[in-house]
Structure 1
Amino acid sequence: MGDGGAGLRVRVVAGAYSAVLVAVLVGPLLGPGYLLLRDAVSTPRSYLTGSALGLGDSAPRAVPQDALLAAVSPLVDGGLIVKAILVLALWAAGYGAAVLVRELLRAPLAAQLVAVTVALWNPYVAERLLQGHWSLLAGYAALPWTALAAYRLRGSSHTFHTLRTGGACVKRVKPMWEWRVRGAAKANEGRGRSRRGATRRPYAETLGGWAALAGCFAAAGLTPTGALLAGITATVTVRRRHLPGTLALLVAASAPWLTATLLSGAGAEPSDPAGIPAFAARAEPGLGTLGSLAGLGGIWNADAVPDSRTTPLALLATLLLLAIVVSGISAVATAETGGRESLRIRRALLALAGAAVVLPALAATGWGMEVMEWLVVNVPGAGLLRDTQKYVALAVPAYALCAAAGCGALASRFRRTSTAATKSNETTATALAATAFIAFLVLPLFDLAWGVGGAMRTVHYPPGWRHVAERIDTPGDVAVLPAGMFRRFPYSGAAPVLDPAPRMLPNDVLQTGELPVRGRTVSGEGTRAREVETLLLQGGSAQDLARLGVEWVLVERTTPGPLGESKTTLAQLEPVYADDHLALYRVPGPDPTLATPDHRWLAVAAHLLWAVMLIGGPTLAVVAQRMSRIENRPPAVEH
């Protein structure tokens, strides 16, 4: 009971520390209001439009997250949902790192806290928060849990094989497994259990591992990139014979965006090769591209970085992070702690970390960009790879392991040099090393605190948005002015933000998908939205607008942007609503022949499959774990 109490205390402290760091990170978002920063758009209410299901003209990059918000926001405020998902994802990333090092390295509490800090207090998290990639951070959070699911699958498979063959476990995979292996030799003694009963627990372990993996894939699959991150992690960590099942689960978890890609046809169109240099990893001051990526930085958008990363502190922070990582590489790669399966997982994660740093750096070179441009032009769906810095997330589980192992390495060195090397002294040395590591990680990136220096804050929408949504009472598409997808509202701050109209309004809002990046424009996949935008800017007729299937035009009055000769077109439309912020017009007689085939039921079915995995995976994993614990109890001793 004492050991169990100590283990519970370690888990509680690690979880609480992760929660404290998250509160420091996103504190300004915990109050009322909505997240509206660059790509992050939360709204009070979303709608299950065709675009939310990924059936619009553009590639389905925001599924199933948009459908999730549309399904839940009628019951719970959409802004609260986004903030809850972001906070939960960050906490899971930190606590998952602690559990990972505890399981694979048997790391003590102090080392687990270092792993939490590595996972949460780093440039990758800062940059993705500033870029507004809240849903991508759900995929980031799933990575340590995916590695743990693979580890448990490996362990349960090893134990089951041992029981089937009647052999003994040579390596100590997990302490609680020892009793079951020893008990297998006495399966028919004592309580008269059969061989079938003796092998019941490994089945529960295997079931729990698969269920946990399914839940990880679904959570990461909130965005297509997140699904790829978790899928890559699982592919390199599971056993080869588990690969077919792993890929099947990954495809099922990715069903929303895969189905939308097939139904809409947007994914079959080549991406603009101009997106490759635009989204290539960026070199930070004094680091170069490779150094920036090794330090978990280097996002393409120079405006979406903490101020400290634009100073010599970026070099100092990177050197300290890499020194901490290097201090534990040897232990992670060679230590027998946790058994053979733990060692294999750790080595796989180390190799993955190297690839996650080197490959994006190569993709940012001249010939690397040429290869990437060929891919996005000739391979459908390769546009998902253009923001290569996203994949640096794959290095974080290994970084967390190395940082935790580095604490142990320093403590062992103290034990070898100390004349009074007691367990108390070793614990103190580990705590001191952990404290130093945490300080080295936090202090050079001090402005990550409180919403990355206050850049992340909540906003409040004017009531006109709600009034416009209420006035749209027919199913036609909506065109929006000014042209472009990004806005600068008086209430949204200095950074550009994605237009909230597609999530605010109950109908599909046409968007070109064109992105202004580094002084150039990256084209989107669709064509109809571009035709509509061009028509409005050229002052085309209302009849031409109706011919393109547009029934509503929304003018957002308080944001800069090109309007062209749109006044000529608007004069031909019926005014429906107007205030200081917004104006809504109705287009007479939209062309009904432009209605697309109704594939919504297929898209909805794919989203339901994903939802079942998201909810059922973790639930089944918990049930299987409890079954294992019950079956693992030693038999009562009869007197």
Structure 2
Amino acid sequence: MRARVGLLVWSVLPATIALGPLLGALLPGGGHLLLRDGVTTPRSHLTDSALGLGEGAARAVPQDAVVAVASSVIDGGALVVGILLLALTGAGVGAGVLIARLLDTTAAAPRMVAATVAIWNPYVAERLLQGHWSLLVGYAALPWTVVAAAALRREIGPRSVAAIVLCLGIAGLTPTGLLMNALLAVAVVLAPGAPRRLATGIVLSATALLSAPWSVAALTSGAGAASDPAGVAAFAARAEPGLGTVGSLAGLGGIWNGDAVPSSRTTWWALVGTALLLVVAAAGVPALWRRRSPVIVAVTGLGLLAVLVAALAATPLGLDVGRWAAESVPGAGLLRDGQKWVALWMPGLVLATAAAASSAVRAGVASLLVVAALPDLAWGVGGALRPVQYPDDWTRVAATIGASERDVAVLPSGTFRVFPFSGDVPVLDPAPRWLAADVLQTGDLPVGGQVVAGEGERAREVEDQLLAGRAPDPSLGVGWVLIEATSRGEFGRVDESLGALDAVHAGPDLLLYRVPDAVTPPPADRTAAVATHLLWAGLTLAAGAIVAAGTVRSRRR
């Protein structure tokens, strides 16, 4: 018990330091995360888009539905920041449990090093800066998935099956999280030395069922059947200073967005920091090799393969293949951000660094080197993670529109905004999460000086009409036009459009207009979407209850 508490406390410490000022969002009125793709609001709503029924590909399900339901009870900003804190802490504790199980040790030193590596690395820093909080939930599940899959190899029973379902269900908050953990679980159960067929079938069946919220949405709506091939190069892994692409990825860095990196990764320290991390890992390789464990080989092999594939995907040949896939293979857009799959390297890296920490002294040195490799992850990644306060206009407009059956069009054009109250960093438009009505979005993403086209054709048609000075065609089902007046962006000749609309709200930040005679679009059939979300939630909660009950019984014994 003392060892478990020590591991938990050790994991909470770096997680808290990494999030820093963002933890203020946990307090009443503490503000909200609003940084690049990370957008929280006081309350989200169970709109068609939140269920994956919009024009765009279902990339944020069941995540958006979970936040919509949970934010009816707790402030959405506190909810997401709380999940982030649990995820980072869970990554550290999971890494420690992984070491205890696979290295068969009760020593505290290697588990502490493992926890430090799992939390304090460029992947975590870059995804925090990009706002990918839900991806970090899937990342945090990786060591737990290895432990659960290894248990499934040894014995197939209610508790071992429930454990793997629970890990995949939690990771399944996003499609990428589920697929990463499923790949890892399959690699473990297929490793030589244990019965494979039934265990593999269990993992694949669980993955198929838990992916239903987004896979069924993609099949029934047709969204995401093809994606813009320009996104392949735009989202390819990036070489950091002093490192090639392989070196950046091997150090768990290399995110496509060069602006979403800690300042230390933009200088020669990127090379030094990566070298420090990999030197610590290399010191443990001989100890891992002597174990001849099929599971350890599978875990590290998959991680190295992820590094290699992500690096190859950024080469001219890899980019050509990716562009072909984007145009020809349904759902290939899910794979375009190649660097995010490097998360699969984390469990192997954790094993190697922990194997090097055979004593308290070595553990202390290793932990110091890992932290020194990325000093500016501290305090909200150098202060970049800070909660923001929305102007009062947002509350007023949300109350005015209510749960309207007609859609909302928003200007300026595009998907990202730059607000005075959120700083100079572009952020996803918060309107789709603030409003209970569906907000039309083109899904266009500005990346590296070019625009990667999204799937929102109806949104693009309405946006073009407004920019050209025309009121939206009433047949398109747009009942409201929201002008985010303080944001930078293109407004075109929208002033000419507004003359034909009814002014409803005029505040310092937002202007709201009603479209006269707008046709109410036919309601989407939510039956399948709701059923698949309930399936995912039911399986995950049931698995959690079985694991909890089994844990209580074993501790009593």
Range class of TM-score, shorter chain: over 0.9
Letter in 2 for 1:311: T
Could you tell me which of 237, 246, 253 is aligned with 1:297? 253
Hey, what does 2:207 align to over in structure 1?
250
- Alignment equivalent of 2:490, drawn from 562, 577, 583: 562
Q: Tell me if 1:79 matches 2:77.
A: yes
SS at match of 2:224: helix
Contact 1:266/1:526 (CA < 8 Å) preserved in 2?
A: no
**For 1:557-609, what per-residue CA distance to the aligned partner results, in whole angstroms no more than 9, with x for missing partners?**
111110111111111000111110001100011224x425x321210111111
1:212 counterpart residue number: 163
Q: Does residue 525 of structure 2 align to residue 599 of structure 1? A: yes
Per-residue CA deviation, residues 424-467 of structure 1 (Å, 9 max, x unaligned), is xxxxxx11111111111101311100000000000011111111
2:45/2:433 contact within 8 Å kept: yes
Residue of 418, 431, 444 corresponding to 2:373: 444
Cα distance, 1:541 vs. partner?
3.4
Deviation at 1:285, TM superposition (A): 0.4
Q: State whether residues 469 and 504 of structure 1, in contact with CA within 8 Å, keep that contact through their aligned partners in structure 2.
A: yes
> How many residues align structurally?
544
Give the match's secondary structure for 1:135: helix
The equivalent of 2:448 in structure 1 is 518
Match in the other structure for 1:226: 177
**Counterpart in the other structure of 1:400:** 350
**Equivalent in the alignment of 1:549:** 477
After superposition, residues 419-568 of structure 1 pair within 5 angstroms as: 430-473=359-402, 474-542=404-472, 544=473, 546-568=474-496
Does the 8 Å CA contact 2:471/2:498 hold for their aligned counterparts?
no
Post-superposition Cα deviations, 1:98-138, rounded to whole Å, max 9, x if no partner, equal 00001110231011111011101000000000000000000
Q: Which runs of 5+ in 2 are unaligned?
A: 25-29, 191-195
Q: Is the CA contact (8 Å cut-off) linking 2:213 and 2:533 kept in structure 1? A: yes
Give the match for residue 20 of structure 1.
Answer: 13
Instruction: Give, in whole Å, the separation in 1 of the partners of 2:401 and 2:303.
Output: 50
* Other structure's SS at 1:286 match: coil
The CA distance in 2 between the partners of 1:518 and 1:541, in whole Å, is 32
Counterpart selection for 2:336 from 378, 381, 386: 386
Matched-pair contact (CA < 8 Å) for 2:306–2:345: yes
Instruction: Determine the C-alpha separation between the residues in 2 that align with 1:115 and 1:627.
Output: 28
Q: Are 2:152 and 1:149 equivalent residues in the alignment?
A: no
Aligned residue identity for 1:218: G
Report the secondary structure of 2:481's partner residue: strand
Q: Determine the C-alpha separation between the residues in 2 that align with 1:357 and 1:132.
A: 22
- Report if aligned partners of 1:279, 1:388 keep a CA contact under 8 Å in 2: yes
Q: For 1:451 and 1:625, locate their aligned partners in 2 and report how far apart those are by CA, in whole Å.
A: 35
Q: What's the CA shift for 1:520?
A: 0.8
Q: Which residue of 2 aligns with 1:419?
A: none
Q: How many Å apart are 1:628 and its aligned residue?
A: 5.0
**1:71-470 equivalent positions in 2, closer than 5 A:** 71-107=69-105, 108-157=107-156, 206-239=157-190, 240-241=196-197, 242-268=199-225, 270-335=226-291, 343-408=293-358, 430-470=359-399
CA distance in 2, matches of 1:540, 1:90: 48
Q: How does 1:612-627 map to 2 (within 5 A)?
A: 612-627=538-553
1:45-87 Cα shifts (integer Å, max 9, x gaps): 0111000101000111111111111111111111111011111
Which secondary structure state, in structure 2, belongs to the residue aligned with residue 539 of structure 1? coil
Distance 1:541 1:307 in 2: 45
* Distance in 2, Cα, partners of 1:143 & 1:377: 31
Partner of 1:57: 55
**Match of 2:496, SS?**
helix
The TM-score, its normalising length taken from structure 1, stands at 0.84
For residue 321 of structure 1, report the CA deviation from its aligned partner.
1.0
Counterparts of 2:201 and 2:541, CA distance in 1: 22
> Does the CA contact (< 8 Å) of 1:55 and 1:263 recur in 2?
no
Query: Partner residue of 2:22?
Result: 29
Local SS of the residue matching 1:27: helix
Instruction: Report the secondary structure of 2:276's partner residue.
Output: helix
State the SS of the aligned residue for 1:554: strand
Shift of 1:626: 4.0
Q: Give the equivalent residue in structure 2 for 1:418.
A: none
Q: 1:76 to 1:629 in 2, by over 3 A?
A: closer
Aligned to 2:193: none
Amino acid aligned to 2:266: T
Instruction: Provide the secondary structure at the position in 2 that maps to 1:459.
Output: coil
Task: Give per-residue Cα distances to partners, 1:324-373, cap 9 Å, x unaligned.
Answer: 1111123223316xxxxxx2211100101110111100000000111111
- How many angstroms apart in 2 are the aligned matches of 1:23 and 1:627? 32
- Indicate if the aligned counterparts of 2:469 and 2:497 stay in contact, CA closer than 8 A: yes
**Do residues 572 (structure 1) and 500 (structure 2) align?**
yes
Deviation at 1:629, TM superposition (A): 5.7
**2:27: which partner in 1?**
none
Percent of residue pairs identical: 53
Name 1:585's counterpart in structure 2: 513
